[in-house]
Amino acid sequence: MSRAELLEAWHGHLALGLRRSPHTVRAYGKAAERLLTRLDLAEWDDVAELSTAALRTHLASRRADGLSNASTARELSALKGFIGFARTQAGHAVSDPPRLRGPRIKKGLPRPVTPDDAIGLADTVEALAADDWIGARDRAVLLLLYGAGMRIAEALSLTASALPLGERLTVTGKGGKQRVVPLIPIVREAVADYAARCPWPLPPQEPLFRGAKGGPLVQGVVQRTTARARKALGLPDSATPHALRHSFATHLLGAGADLRSLQELLGHASLGSTQIYTKVDAASLLETYRNAHPRERD
């Protein structure tokens, strides 16, 4: 068997079996390719029998290449999955990968933007666009992120079959898990405005959001247009498309939403992922207090 065949099977498992995003398939595929190349492996048995010591040595060499703690942890996760898959392919009774703990990662809190800045970003990407329909498109995408708490990949995976949008939308998230999100009028109107202006046909099973030449809109374009808008507004680098999803969660929690409902709206697999927003909201309240209290200003 060749390395290319191993990688092809791994890519297929990730994309079709686990329904991982294209970004994850690329990243996990590259991690597996580096492991096969550096350790000169070309058979499932070789990968399946890889020891914890060999995996630790490989990761140490990656750290020597300048890999950060967070990147090392992601690489370890990818390789554990690959080795577990290899053990299944090799017919091993146990498919669990080697037990190896990754580096400690200090998790920072999400950094939301204010409601005014969220809407300002959406309006500014529209104003800065070269064409009216592209401006309407970019505004619609950002309002889906802020108004419905969608991930950027989820918004860009929508097909035109979603049109016309109603008060609720079924979204396919990580791992193919589906959830239903409510859509407020400003979001529905923005998407309808884009669809009416789009110069490309929008058949039901094709992507809803199109690039300038008619192909599927990609994340990099949305990230670049948002970067231009935040620069024009004088916002920090943390004002990214994903920050709009954080803002959706933080603002709902601040308005009294309960954690379980928020977990469902965000599509989090565990409540622990949602609980981080309680800390964000507390931090926002403290910042408001510091800015408003007379003694804090003295």
Q: How far apart are CA 138 and CA 209, in angstroms?
A: 9
In this structure, what DSSP letter does residue 168 have? E
Residue type, 101: R
Confirm whether 245 is a catalytic residue: yes
H or E element in which residue 92 lies: none
Confirm whether 242 is a catalytic residue: yes
Confirm whether 28 is a catalytic residue: no
- Marked catalytic residue, from 137, 245, 246, 251: 245
144-to-32, 75, 101, 158, 159 alpha-carbon distances in Å: 34, 31, 37, 11, 14
User: Is the peptide bond preceding residue 164 cis, with omega within 30 degrees of 0?
Assistant: yes
DSSP state string for 96-133 = PPP--------PPPP----HHHHHHHHHHHHHH-SSHH
Strand partners, 201: none
3-state DSSP of 169-220: EEEECHHHCEEEEECCHHHHHHHHHHHHHCCCCCCCCCECCECCCCCECCHH
In this structure, what DSSP letter does residue 78 have? H
Q: Which residue in this structure is represented by tokens 């789009």?
A: 198
Q: How far apart are CA 120 and CA 245, in angstroms?
A: 15
Confirm whether 277 is a catalytic residue: yes
Confirm whether 26 is a catalytic residue: no
- Marked catalytic residue, from 151, 179, 230, 251: 151
Parallel, antiparallel, or unpaired for β 178-182 and 168-172? antiparallel
Confirm whether 19 is a catalytic residue: no
Query: Which residues are identified as catalytic?
Result: 151, 174, 242, 245, 268, 277
